[in-house]
Amino acid sequence: MELYKIAAANLIGIGKHRLSLLCKNLKGLHSLFNMDIEQLSSQCNANKNLLMKMKRKRALQLAKKQLSFNARYGIKTLFYTDKEYPEQLKECADAPVVLYYKGVIPLNQPKIVSIVGTRKCSLYGKKIVQEFIEQMKDQNILVISGLAYGIDTCVHEYCMSNNVPTIGVLGHGHHMIYPKSNSSLAKKMCKNGGLLSEFGIHDGMSKYNFPKRNRIIAGIAHLTIVIESPIKGGSMITANLANSYNREVMAFPGQVSSAYSQGCNELIKNHKAHLISGAEDVFSLMNWSKKDSNHNMQVELNTHESLIVQLLQSDHDIHFDHLIQKTEFSTSYLQSVILGLELKNILFEIPGFRFKLNPQFL
């Protein structure tokens, strides 16, 4: 089924809305690729020329290469109807049919903040990022950014140093990292967050990819924060997209004479962003409770749940079969215990039928 999910994303001229209409009268996604054109046209009540222009054969060929790449590098395919696909993004009409994700943090979190800014950030911007991320520590907040030069890079680096889960949204496939200077950072992020992209390995670099990436950054989050931006640029596009999705937007003000603060000041002036001076403003606007950072998350666990947590605290991650050996639970009982822990957001599954603790419980 994963093959057809990937192939569906490679059909020409077919977004998730039209794909839903086509599949409405089919037994499954596979039918879209295995029926002949005449039968498919009749079944879906669709124009044959439109169906031919989708280039199903090409889509399947690309999907086979992507599927092989995903398996080799531990990348997960998230189809727009999958439960692991970001719920926030599902609400957006232009959300991608498929996302490719490499990481350890589930994308559906109760508090998601996107932080964006200029590629040519000042010392003022870097200082804001440092202080703000430090205030996000131990608050169970997932931070999203674009892994670009400048503010994005600072955001990810400070998240890593403060053990704040962070995900980078790429403007290209997982077969490369741009800029190359962030390759090492990206690798580290996969152990404390992840990398997300709608682009496949066949998609080349293009300046048009980055505005498309920005809609994911805006759509996946409950709140978008702009830290330094000129009057035009990717950060302003992201802020405007967030507004169009009815998301909250905040911006740090800056000096009137600073070119890199003009965008933020303009957003605030035109009531397109709330003024922010620190993390307290976020908790107030979003009505999020702030945790006391002096103690860990308190969750009531039964004896067997506590045993699983202890095992995961001593190992980086553990395979399901290894957990059976350690606990001597039956397969069905272990599955039920793990499900309970997943529902409490204490652990989650990573590729290879392995399990890992939410960093907040380490």
User: DSSP assignment of 244-295, as one string?
Assistant: HTT-EEEE----TT-GGGHHHHHHHHTTSSEE-SSHHHHHHHHTPPPP-TTS
Q: 297 falls in which pLDDT band (50, 70, 90)?
A: low
pLDDT higher than threshold 70 for residue 134: yes
Average pLDDT for residues 200-224, to the nearest whole number? 94
User: DSSP assignment of 145-201, as one string?
Assistant: E---TTHHHHHHHHHHHTT--EEEEPSS-TT--SSGGGHHHHHHHTTTEEEEES--T
CATH topology of domain 112-286: Rossmann fold (3.40.50)
Average pLDDT for residues 331-343, to the nearest whole number? 88
pLDDT digits (tens, 9 = 90+) for 25-70: 787 888 888 888 888 888 888 888 888 888 989 999 999 999 999 9
Q: Specify the pairing of strand 318-319 against strand 354-357.
A: antiparallel
Length of the chain equals 362
pLDDT higher than threshold 90 for residue 5: yes
Every domain of the chain and the residues it spans: 2-73, 112-286, 303-361
* Mean of all residue pLDDT scores within the chain: 91
CATH number 3.10.129.10 is the correct assignment for the domain at 303-361: no
Model pTM score: 0.80
